[in-house]
Amino acid sequence: MSKFFRWNMLVTSFIPLWISIIFVLLWDINSRCYSNICSLLKGNSVQIGFLIFIVIILVISTVAVIRFLSHKRKQNEVSGYGKIISAQKSATLVTDFLLTYIMPLIAFDFTDLRDIILFLLYFLLIVFLNIRNGNVYTNILFEFMGYRVYICNIERNITGKTYLFSDCSIISKENLTGKIGQDFPHFDFDNSTYLNLNPPKGN
């Protein structure tokens, strides 16, 4: 999986945080509104700049993830088949990431330049650790598109030999917990992350 796609998935995983920050910035800008546009821009240049930056990054990443997933399914780019040995729905959104959303809102003042810089350093550290370790997280964008992330053990036949791959992340529209022992076509990112190309039941 390319680092660009990992970056886009990580950014979209933080959609609740970005929306919260945008709300805070818009509220602060509105509360400081002056009678003319020149005073408004002068008094809120940091907030406006940070707001525009977040919106641009969020839009680019959202469009990139949607186009990537839609393209792979439309072209049916099957890179192999795997058999599901075990599957459970990923719960990272409910546990680790809720803490990651809440902490920045408490720890940083997004109307202050110093805190904005500290937050960017904090987020870059998260980006580095997650991209380096190849982490994939479920997120609200996936939910809206009908996808879930499952943690699975799968068997794959490679050059005539059967291999077991443990704790793989599978992005899927199917409920994989009910597909134990069944084969599924997939797009293989890096032997640990897969996109299930089976259509959901009923399609």
Let me know: does 3 contact 130? Beta carbons within 8 Å.
no
Asked which of 29-33, 44-48, 175-179 is least confident by mean pLDDT, the reply is 29-33
Question: Residue 168 is inside which H or E element, if any?
Answer: strand 161-172
pLDDT digits (tens, 9 = 90+) for 135-188: 666 677 888 888 888 899 999 888 888 889 888 888 888 888 888 999 988 888
**Residue 89 buriedness (CB in 10 A; 0-12 / 13-18 / 19+):** middle
Asked which of 24-33, 49-58, 89-98, 121-130 is least confident by mean pLDDT, the reply is 89-98
pLDDT digits (tens, 9 = 90+) for 185-202: 888 877 678 888 877 665
pTM, to two decimals: 0.77
Average confidence (pLDDT) over 122-131: 85
R_g over Cα of the chain:
20
Average confidence (pLDDT) over 22-43: 66
Q: Residue 100: which residues within 8 A CB-CB, separation 6 or more?
A: 14, 17, 126
What one-letter code names the amino acid at 179? K
Q: How far is CA 137 from the centre of its chain?
A: 6
DSSP 200: P
> In whole angstroms, what is the distance from residue 49 CA to residue 52 CA?
5
The pLDDT of residue 2 is 67
Question: What are the extents of the domains in the chain?
Answer: 1-75+94-136, 79-90+145-203
With bands split at pLDDT 50, 70 and 90, how would you rate the model's confidence at 59? very high
Asked which of 1-15, 50-64, 126-140 is least confident by mean pLDDT, the reply is 126-140
Is the pLDDT confidence value at 46 over 90?
A: no
Let me know: does 163 contact 192? Beta carbons within 8 Å.
no
Let me know: does 88 contact 178? Beta carbons within 8 Å.
no
Let me know: does 164 contact 155? Beta carbons within 8 Å.
yes
Is the pLDDT confidence value at 35 over 70?
A: no
Asked which of 79-83, 93-97, 167-171 is least confident by mean pLDDT, the reply is 93-97
